[in-house]
Amino acid sequence: MTQPPDPGGPRLEPSESPTAEPGDDQAASDAPPPTVNPVLSWTPSSSLPAASDQTTDGPIVSWAAPAAGPAVAPVQGFVMAGVGSRILAYLLDTILIGILGGVLLGIAIVATGRSFETEPETASLLYGILTLGLEFLYFVGLWTSQRQATLGMRLVSLRLARATDGEGLSIGMAILRFVVMGFPLTLLGSLPVAGVLVSYAYFGLVVFLLFTTAMSPLRQGLHDRLSGSVVVRPAGASNRGTIIGCALLSALAIGLLVVLPIMLVMALGPEFREILSRIGESI
């Protein structure tokens, strides 16, 4: 029985190879080069270690956290003010307010013609009212001024600004900062009943505000955070103002603790010693 011819044509055995027809080389040279897949044809660079050379002891690329730099203020050319310079400015401002309050109290005594020696409670209340009014006008007024600083802050090159854009504080922000700093306690401290308790409360508040200021990266105490303020100083400011401020405080301390008692002893003599003994007995 005769088998039908294979429709697929003659088959090549594995050992056979097709015979090149004339003109095939020319056609192959004219054909476009095959498209190369860049993903599949990529090979590692010779500069990189082979996969077999890599170890599994640690990550291939190590990462380290950047070092913490100085706190940057929202004002160009300024840095965050330190706690020490802020304490110095606050002490200078407080002493100035105390002196002005004493002068106004003396003027009030002369103007009213009353003797507050027999009415110490009235004198204390009047001094508290005068001091609170002075503190409000002094701090809130100078915080919101063009210089954005009190006289003590100017001496040590400090400036109070908004934490968002570095502009000056609004009246509302300054009043909130004034209240949180405990200045209204000045009036309560003048009351005879609550005076001692208020003094302890005010001292504790000041310590707490200093602690929160020192712990903040931007040196923002609770009063700064609630009011949205920040205290800055020029990046290249000299320490001349700080030296002058420390010298003023030292001179005041020597004058109050050494010179003034000597002058009182020389002027009053036995009367001053009697006053001191009465104070010691009351304590």
Torsional sign, CA 129, 133, 135, 136: positive
Contact (CB, 8 A) for 148 and 155: no
Indicate the average pLDDT of the chain.
74
This prediction has a pTM of: 0.65
20 vs 178, which has greater pLDDT? 178
- DSSP class of residue 162? E
Which pLDDT does position 82 carry in this prediction? Answer: 87
Which pLDDT does position 47 carry in this prediction? Answer: 47
As given in the structure block, the two tokens for residue 209 are 């505000």
Separation between Cα atoms, residue 213 and residue 223, nearest integer Å: 9
Separation between Cα atoms, residue 85 and residue 83, nearest integer Å: 6
92 vs 114, which has greater pLDDT? 92
User: Would you say residue 45 has pLDDT above 50?
Assistant: no
As given in the structure block, the two tokens for residue 173 are 């922000």
pLDDT band at 230 (very low <50, low <70, confident <90, very high): very high
Which pLDDT does position 25 carry in this prediction? Answer: 53
User: Would you say residue 272 has pLDDT above 70?
Assistant: no
Short-list 203, 202, 224, CA closest to 213? 224
